[in-house]
Structure 1
Amino acid sequence: MNDDGEGTRRQALGRLGGAWGQGAGLCVLAGMGGYLPRDGRDNAELAKTYGVTEDWIYSRTGIRRRRILPAGQNTSDMAVEAARAALADSGTDPADLTHVLVASCAPDGLVPNTACTVERKLGLSGLVALDFNVACSGFLYGLYLTSAIVRLEPGAVVLLVAAEAMSRLCAPGDRSVNVIFGDGAGAAVVTARRGALVVEDIVVSSDGKNAGILTANGGGSRAAYASPDSRVGEDYFLRMEGREVFRLAVSRMAGVSLALLARNGLSPADVDLFVPHQANGRIIEAVGDRLGIPAARTAAYIEDVGNTSAASIPLALEQARAQGRLRPGGRVLLASFGAGFTWGAALVRVDAAAS
């Protein structure tokens, strides 16, 4: 595989081409919802903590404020709020759900999974409940999984939630991560029935050779507790080599987006709205520049919320809808990049009947 991660993957894209559009059935986002904590951490506070200026932080991140989950609340609490909003938006009775999928790299705990906790807090039981972790690529990987589910079981009603308490993974003294990450959750109800947002095509991929560039080992077998009184060390928190993450994120998101568009006979000029993972302002701008998609056709939602990892795409998509940017008949391009490393892109069509 070459440096942009698309050599072998392009061959796979060619083999898979047409699989979505030839009688495979619909994959529809029937409703969406999001949740952001009210508490926040702004640049003024961080500037004092780290001995820099507010402008220095903003120029490197595009962020002025991050939402922070208060003590006593957990990832599942945000997930449930986003889920309830998505269920209401779609007009779905929670009792009609068949699956709940939760994408998170900051779950409530190792056991039980957060999906079971969300199921319980919604007053449900008997669902297929699944957690998965591909960090910031979580929502697109989730769309990939849910698309398979609704094609296998056309009557399935899937609740897909991406929820991240990223502030809980950031060591207090680490400026490189604290100026970037925030907390939040986004959710979608996915079915095979008609709806406002139709997933036309999607591809996800990965490459583990650079996994050490972005890690958080706490609680896993690489950083297991030796005894009940073991001290929590630096390895338990998020560690990131920012420059390499920047380079790889721009390359992978642009590359997979171009490959996906090409296999659908499209170019960036055919994209009405580009919704990238809200990694930081400079990455969003650089990916747009490489694709030739201007800021006017790009959803940027990072300034007041920070990088919310897997939740960033559904939150940005929800904001775009609230702003009237999802116009009937329009085509939306989603792109993500996350630890692992993982990445993906999806094409979404706004149904002509959508308001």
Structure 2
Amino acid sequence: MVGIIDLEVAFPAGRRTVREMHELSGRPVADILAWTHCPEIPVFGPDEQAWELQADIAAKVLDRAGVAASEIGQVIVGGGGDWDRPSWSPAARIAAELGVTRAHCFEVLNFCSSSSAALQVASDAITLGRTTYSLLLFGERVARSIDYTDPESVSLFNVGDAAAAVLLGPHNVRFDLLDTRTRSEPTWSDFLSGEIDGDRMVIRLRGRRRGISALYLERYRDLVRESLHDLGLTPADVDHFVINQVDRRMHERLLDALGIPAARSVFNYHRLGHMSSTDPFIGLCDLRDTGRLADGDLVLLATSGFGFSWGVTAVRHRA
């Protein structure tokens, strides 16, 4: 069965503090903390390159797995296009750094739901026999697109930067990939978008359209229930629920709606912001590194992103 052989996450050295956000935006510290839940957010500094951090942890993953660069048939970078350079392929640059010379290198743009989309693309390719191993990478310079001088953008102040590397294949699998499904709601495509502001692109909220919270809850709930139903499972069978760390209030409401106890979910709000498409892998690494995973545990990885798109991936842990 196709699955995750190994994975790793890492964080940049830079930090954006709530105090700095307050000074730039004029919003009260309490208002900002209501979204960030922590006093500072990891961000790439001006001298840090996202692709280099991704390449570093990818090399560690390949070394631990004992997979040679020559065996990699796909290198996929997921995100929203906030690469280190415009009109450029970070996947190809990372492949060159790793000595991967026989792979198709490309990007999957589905914003903060790119992890689900990339897992689906890669697992399909492996299942169809087009490649044996796929290397998935996540992490971009999203924080530089946040306008901290705009007090109306406070709900985006929790966005930060991180990197993740995930190796997929059919051998020596640590997490069996049971199901991945994604869905979009295109009528909300213009609610969030970027615009050029001087020498950079910034993300803007487009109005105050009501219903986004209810839509998030409905789409997540439907995908989780459909996935579990097709697997012959129920929410009671879920041992761990990992979701993008965007909105703690919505996270808690979703758990209530699904009947999954909060103790079975990962909450990183107190120490990290929303690390874009790396969130689910940060949560999965936390479960692994703290010894919370037992043989046979069922883990759901839930994602969402601009577009708007949602994804749910079910994996089963092998001890």
Superposed pair shares fold, TM > 0.5:
yes
Distance change (3 Å), C-alpha of 1:254 and 1:164:
farther
User: Which one is further off, 307-316 or 51-60?
Assistant: 51-60
Q: So what's the TM-score if we normalise by structure 1? A: 0.82
2:204 pairs with one of 233, 239, 242: 239
> Does the 8 Å CA contact 1:35/1:81 hold for their aligned counterparts?
no
User: Which one is further off, 127-136 or 47-56?
Assistant: 47-56
> Does the 8 Å CA contact 1:41/1:65 hold for their aligned counterparts?
yes
Distance change (3 Å), C-alpha of 1:249 and 1:177:
same
Alpha-carbon distance in 2 for matches of 1:109, 1:81: 19
Q: What is the aligned partner in structure 1 of residue 56 from structure 2?
A: 81
Q: Deviations over 1:319-343 (max 9, x none)?
A: 1211112221110011111111111
Q: So what's the TM-score if we normalise by structure 2? A: 0.90
Number of aligned residue pairs: give it.
314
> Does the 8 Å CA contact 1:177/1:238 hold for their aligned counterparts?
no
- 1:267 equivalent to 2:234? Answer yes
Give secondary structure in 2 for the equivalent of 1:335: strand
1:339 pairs with one of 301, 306, 309: 306
Distance change (3 Å), C-alpha of 1:319 and 1:88:
farther
- 1:183 equivalent to 2:161? Answer yes
Q: What is the aligned partner in structure 1 of residue 65 from structure 2?
A: 90
Q: Structure 2: which amino acid aligns with 1:141?
A: A
- 1:170 equivalent to 2:146? Answer yes
Q: What is the aligned partner in structure 1 of residue 255 from structure 2?
A: 288
Alpha-carbon distance in 2 for matches of 1:160, 1:273: 22
Structure 1: gaps spanning 5 or more residues = 1-25, 219-230
Structure 2: gaps spanning 5 or more residues = none
**Moved segments of 4+, more than 6 Å:** none
Alpha-carbon distance in 1 for matches of 2:314, 2:68: 28
1:330 pairs with one of 281, 297, 300: 297
- 1:130 equivalent to 2:106? Answer yes
- 1:198 equivalent to 2:176? Answer yes
Q: What is the aligned partner in structure 1 of residue 191 from structure 2?
A: 213
Q: Structure 1: which amino acid aligns with 2:65?
A: S
Give secondary structure in 2 for the equivalent of 1:107: coil
Q: What is the aligned partner in structure 1 of residue 281 from structure 2?
A: 314
Distance change (3 Å), C-alpha of 1:240 and 1:150:
same
Alpha-carbon distance in 1 for matches of 2:249, 2:18: 17
Distance change (3 Å), C-alpha of 1:89 and 1:249:
farther
Q: What is the aligned partner in structure 1 of residue 40 from structure 2?
A: 65
Alpha-carbon distance in 1 for matches of 2:261, 2:29: 26
Distance change (3 Å), C-alpha of 1:293 and 1:129:
same
User: Which one is further off, 77-86 or 126-135?
Assistant: 77-86
> Does the 8 Å CA contact 2:195/2:204 hold for their aligned counterparts?
no
User: Which one is further off, 149-158 or 50-59?
Assistant: 50-59
> Does the 8 Å CA contact 1:87/1:189 hold for their aligned counterparts?
yes
Q: Structure 2: which amino acid aligns with 1:165?
A: R
Alpha-carbon distance in 1 for matches of 2:119, 2:110: 13
> Does the 8 Å CA contact 1:146/1:158 hold for their aligned counterparts?
yes
> Does the 8 Å CA contact 1:61/1:282 hold for their aligned counterparts?
no
Coordinate RMSD, CA, aligned: 2.2
> Does the 8 Å CA contact 2:125/2:131 hold for their aligned counterparts?
no
* The structure with more strand, counted as a fraction of residues: 2
Distance change (3 Å), C-alpha of 1:302 and 1:186:
farther
Q: Deviations over 1:101-154 (max 9, x none)?
A: 000111233423111111122233231101011001111111101111111127
Alpha-carbon distance in 2 for matches of 1:188, 1:300: 21
Instruction: Give the superposition deviation at 1:59.
Output: 2.7
1:157 pairs with one of 133, 140, 148: 133
Correspondences of 1:15-164 after superposition (within 5 Å): 26-105=1-80, 106-153=82-129, 156-164=132-140
